[in-house]
């Protein structure tokens, strides 16, 4: 089972956001996607999840085309995602945010749920159990009945990841999961994501936090101006002069890349605080 | 402790007293109705019909977050189903329950027919298109003289009977409506709590994110339109049977707006809120009957007042029937 991009291209009017990207993502690994602002990282995630259409080329999971499917069908093929700007169901409770993910599996039993209380109770209990289990992984069990929109920013990030994980996705797409988190939260997140590295799961993380990327990812893709600039292990990426150049123009070591990422994080932290 | 905290701490107990008060009033009213003069029974019946309509429309507006201003069309479909199938108009005299079934199915079909073209619309655009749809149905009824009697309407509808029991007096309809409201209310409440209900809420919150977790929003929305229309149509059929007369006048835009107001005033997305909203908007004009010309003004002032002091409605979304039951009978 592999996720593949074949000569993928995305154009917004005149802007070419993704230019002829071919790549493949093996299961069991965590793949990092890095690159400067505007490199096209989110666009890759958005096309894979079906939020954006594909201008040319194709995306396939297990040889089955994804780019021809509707967004909900892609989700039902086992692709789950988070968003660069958190998108929760704000007025629903934390628990409901996860429960509703069982819609595709359970909707067929709706009539029975409405008319036969014991069946409804059993279904609800089963959904609840699974959701609580996932919430516990992210230390959110105490918030189960809280309104999602009322959580602190960091918890909202965690909840969004929990929502993506609750139905056991085959492909997990995370767009800047550590954005706006403090050091402590980022460390926790890194540990939790490491625990989610399953043999049959493809995880793709877009992230500016180099510590997280370097410690978590097995394979890194570097994007630059919509092109795939480099692909390799964290060590290879750190050693690549091309990558340093892409990030800083004149960079000469990984510390500079880190510094750039730190700046970026500070910037996002401000944004996060404004949001909440 | 701040004022807000004090209030929050005091709430459960006063909430319980209020719950009991309203529950007691409702029970007393139900028990007293058989002894009330027909006039009042009719008022209560029309209140029950509005509650039924509110419960139906709330599925689309309150649960799925789609502002539908053409709801009265489904009410008309149900009413005319009864009028055509149980009157000298086409000389058909079907039994009431069969017509109710037909009306429910027709309602669902019209609901889906309206739903399909407006799937992509939201907010104001959706409101305008559905408003147009409601008017189109009314105008068709108004102009289809040979079938619907046009503006004159259809009179001399059959007396309804259910399994040999005649349902003709206002009090008969009171029981029929009460049972219908309780059954429909319970089912819809269970629907709200089902996985489909959660999906509607997700669509209301963020349609795109809802698709992202695998919800086929097309189907879920059509299900909302269909269930909502079914209930509207059932209410229409009962309405026609109780009036034994239908005309397009009963199905104007004003009716749609009134039902929306009941939902908004009472508490959007909450069945208890609809009961509260319908009660206020239906009974107040009766109470103020003496001030005939001023009624609308009073109503307007009341609305402004309520929207300022309780913008989320009289009963907030979070205080659903489950909470009420817990308050009443819980520890
Ligand atoms: N919806 C859109 N319409 C038009 N242009 C867009 C849209 N989304 C992205 N772009 C453009 O496409 C390019 C790639 O954007 P993308 O969001 O994929 O970058 P990114 O690598 O995720 O950047 P960042 O690190 O800032 O999140 C940018 O030039 C951006 O301005
Ligand atoms: Mg991005």
Neighboring chain B residues of A91 at a CB cutoff of 8 Å: 201, 205
CA of A227 relative to ligand 2 center, distance in Å: 15
**Domain endpoint, select from A113, A146, A168:** A168
* Assigned domain for A83 exists: no
Residue A253 pLDDT greater than 60, yes or no: no
CB A33, CB A44: distance < 8 Å: yes
CA B157/CA B175 separation, integer angstroms: 20
pLDDT band at B328 (very low <50, low <70, confident <90, very high): confident
Same domain, A97 and A201: no
Band of pLDDT at residue B309, cut at 50, 70 and 90 = confident
B229 and B74 Cβ atoms separated by less than 8 Å: yes
In this prediction, residues A259-275 reach a mean pLDDT of 54
Q: Cα(first)–Cα(last) distance of chain B, in Å?
A: 26
Q: Is B326 on the interface with A (CB under 8 A)?
A: no
> Model confidence over A183-223: pLDDT tens digits?
999 999 999 999 999 999 999 999 999 989 999 999 999 99
Q: How far is the CA of A176 from the centre of ligand 2 (A)?
A: 7
Q: A198 CA to middle of ligand 2, Å?
A: 25
Residue A84 located in a structural domain: no
What is the distance in angstroms between the CA of the first residue and the CA of the last residue of chain A?
39
**Domain assignment present for A38:** yes
- Would A108 be classed as within a structural domain? yes
Q: Are residues A53 and A102 in the same domain?
A: no
- The partner residue sitting opposite A72, judged by closest CB among B191, B198, B217, is B217
B277 has pLDDT over 50: yes
Distance in angstroms (rounded) separating the CA atoms of residues B14 and B121? 42
Instruction: Give yes or no: residues A189 and A63 share one domain.
Output: yes
Cα A97 to Cα B187: distance, rounded to the nearest angstrom: 23
Closest CA to A145 of A93, A191, A184, A84: A93
The pLDDT assigned to B16 comes to 78
CA distance B41 to B61: 29
Mean pLDDT of B190-212: 96
On the question of pLDDT at A74 being above 90, the answer is yes
A26 and A147 in a single domain? The answer is no
Q: What is the whole-number distance in angstroms between the Cα of residue A183 and the centre of ligand 1?
A: 26
Which residue among B191, B211, B213 places its CB closest to the CB of A100? B213
Place of tokens 């050693």: A239
Residues of B in contact with A100 (CB under 8 A): 195, 198-199, 201-202, 210, 213, 215
- pLDDT at position B121, please? 84
Judge whether residue B5 has pLDDT over 70: no
> Is the pLDDT confidence value at B7 over 50?
no
SS3 of residue A70 by DSSP: coil
Helix (H) or strand (E) run with residue A212 in it:
helix A210-216
Q: Of A168, A191, A225, which residue is a domain's last? A: A168
A150 and A128 within one domain: yes
In this predicted structure, the answer to whether residue B119 has a pLDDT above a threshold of 90 is no
Residue A231 lies in a domain: yes
Residues A30 and A102 in one domain: no
- Asked if pLDDT for residue B4 goes beyond 60, the answer is no
User: Residue A44 CA: which ligand 1 atom is closest?
Assistant: 18
The count of structural domains within chain A is 2
A129 shares its domain with A102: yes
**B216 → chain A, closest CA residue:** A72
Per-residue pLDDT, B22: 83
Partner-chain residue, chosen from B202, B208, B211, that has the shortest CB–CB distance to A100? B202
- Is residue B186 pLDDT above 80, yes or no? yes
pLDDT at B192 > cutoff 70? yes
- Mean pLDDT, range A168-175, rounded to an integer: 96
For residue A49, tell me if it sits in a domain: yes
Lowest mean pLDDT among A205-209, A240-244, B318-322: A240-244
A264 and A143 share one domain:
no
pLDDT in the model for residue B118: 87
Ligand 1 pocket test: pick from A39, A222, A223 the residue with the most ligand atoms within 8 Å of its Cβ. A39
**A160 and A180 housed in the same domain:** no
State the average pLDDT over residues A143-164.
96
For the stretch B16-25, pLDDT in tens is 788 888 888 8
For chains A and B, CB pairs below 8 A equal 101
Parallel/antiparallel/unpaired status of strands A15-25 and A3-12: antiparallel
Say how far apart CA A84 and CA A189 lie, in whole Å. Answer: 16
Atom of ligand 1 nearest to the CA of A46: 18
Query: What burial class does residue B4 get, using C-beta atoms within 10 Å of its C-beta: 0-12 exposed, 13-18 middle, 19+ buried?
Result: exposed
Read off the pLDDT band of B8 (50, 70, 90).
very low
Helix, strand, or coil (residue A22):
strand
Contact A103 B191 (CB under 8 A): no
Check whether residue A21 and residue A64 sit in a common domain: yes
- Are A62 and A192 part of one and the same domain? yes
Lowest mean pLDDT: which of A167-176, A266-275, B287-296?
A: A266-275
pLDDT tens for B23-79 read: 888 899 889 989 999 999 999 999 999 999 999 999 999 999 999 999 999 999 999
B214 touching A, CB under 8 A? yes
Nearest CA distance, A225 vs chain B (angstrom): 27
CA–CA separation, B173 and A251 (whole Å): 83
Q: ipTM of this predicted complex?
A: 0.88
User: Mean pLDDT throughout B249-275?
Assistant: 91
pTM over 0.80: yes
**What per-residue confidence (pLDDT) applies to A272?**
44
Identify the contact set of chain A against chain B, taking CB-CB distances under 8 A. Answer: 49-51, 70-72, 75-76, 80-81, 83, 87-92, 96, 99-104, 106-107, 109-110, 113-115, 117, 120, 123-124, 127, 163, 167
Residues A29 and A64 in one domain: yes
pLDDT digits (tens, 9 = 90+) for B130-148: 999 999 999 999 999 999 9
Q: What 3-state DSSP class applies to A251? A: coil
Q: Can you give the residue range of the structural domain that contains A151?
A: 89-168
Average pLDDT across chain B, whole number? 89
């Amino acid at each position: 089972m592999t996720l593949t991009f074949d000569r993928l291209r995305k154009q917004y009017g005149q802007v070419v956001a993704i230019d002829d990207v071919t790549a493949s993502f093996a299961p069991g690994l965590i793949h990092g996607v890095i690159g400067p602002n505007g490199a096209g990282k989110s666009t890759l995630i958005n096309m894979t999840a079906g939020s954006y259409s594909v201008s040319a080329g194709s995306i396939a999971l297990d040889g089955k085309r994804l780019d021809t499917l509707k967004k909900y069908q892609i989700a039902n093929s086992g692709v789950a995602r988070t968003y660069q700007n958190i998108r929760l169901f704000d007025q629903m409770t934390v628990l409901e945010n996860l429960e509703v993910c069982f819609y595709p599996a359970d909707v067929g039993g709706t009539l029975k749920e409405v008319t036969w209380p014991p069946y409804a109770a059993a279904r609800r209990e089963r959904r609840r159990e699974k959701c609580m289990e996932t919430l516990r992984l992210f230390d959110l069990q105490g918030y189960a009945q809280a309104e999602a929109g009322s959580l602190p920013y960091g918890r909202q990030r965690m909840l969004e990841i929990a929502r993506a994980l609750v139905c056991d996705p085959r492909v997990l797409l995370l767009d800047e999961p550590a954005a706006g988190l403090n050091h402590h939260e980022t460390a926790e997140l890194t540990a939790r994501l490491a625990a989610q590295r399953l043999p049959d799961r493809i995880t793709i993380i877009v992230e500016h936090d180099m510590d997280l990327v370097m410690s978590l990812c097995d394979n890194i893709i570097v994007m630059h101006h919509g092109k795939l600039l480099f692909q390799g292990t964290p060590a290879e990426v750190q050693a690549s002069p091309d990558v340093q150049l892409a990030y800083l123009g004149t960079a000469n070591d990984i510390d500079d890349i880190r510094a750039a990422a730190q700046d970026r994080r500070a910037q996002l932290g401000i944004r996060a605080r404004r949001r909440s | 402790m701040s004022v807000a905290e004090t209030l929050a701490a005091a709430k459960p107990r006063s909430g319980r007293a209020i719950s009991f008060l309203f529950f007691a009033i409702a029970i007393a009213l139900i028990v007293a109705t058989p002894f009330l003069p027909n006039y009042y029974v009719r008022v209560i019946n029309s209140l029950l019909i509005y509650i039924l309509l509110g419960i139906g429309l709330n599925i689309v507006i309150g649960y799925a977050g789609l502002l539908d201003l053409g709801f009265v069309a489904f009410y008309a479909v149900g009413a005319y189903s009864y009028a055509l199938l149980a009157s000298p108009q086409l000389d058909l005299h079907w039994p009431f329950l069969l017509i109710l079934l037909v009306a429910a199915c027709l309602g669902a079909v019209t609901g889906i027919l309206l739903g399909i073209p407006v799937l992509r619309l939201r907010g104001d655009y959706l409101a305008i298109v559905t408003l147009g749809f409601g008017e189109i149905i009314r105008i068709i009824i108004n102009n289809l003289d040979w079938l619907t009697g046009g503006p004159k309407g259809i009179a001399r509808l059959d007396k309804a009977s259910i399994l040999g029991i005649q349902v003709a007096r206002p009090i008969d309809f009171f029981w029929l409506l009460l049972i219908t409201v309780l059954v429909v209310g319970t089912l819809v409440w269970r629907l709200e709590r089902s996985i489909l209900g959660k999906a509607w809420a997700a669509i209301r919150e963020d349609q795109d994110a809802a698709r992202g977790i695998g919800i086929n929003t097309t189907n879920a929305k059509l299900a909302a339109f269909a269930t909502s229309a079914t209930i509207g149509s059932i209410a229409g059929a009962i309405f026609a049977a109780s009036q034994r007369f239908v005309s397009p006048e009963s199905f104007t835009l004003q009716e749609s707006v009134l039902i929306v107001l009941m939902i908004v005033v009472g508490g959007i997305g909450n069945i208890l809120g609809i009961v509260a909203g319908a009660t206020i908007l239906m009974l107040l004009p009766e109470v103020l009957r003496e001030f005939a010309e001023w009624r609308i003004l009073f109503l307007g002032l009341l609305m402004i007042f309520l929207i300022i002091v309780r913008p989320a409605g009289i009963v907030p979304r979070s205080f659903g029937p489950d909470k009420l039951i817990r308050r009443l009978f819980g520890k």
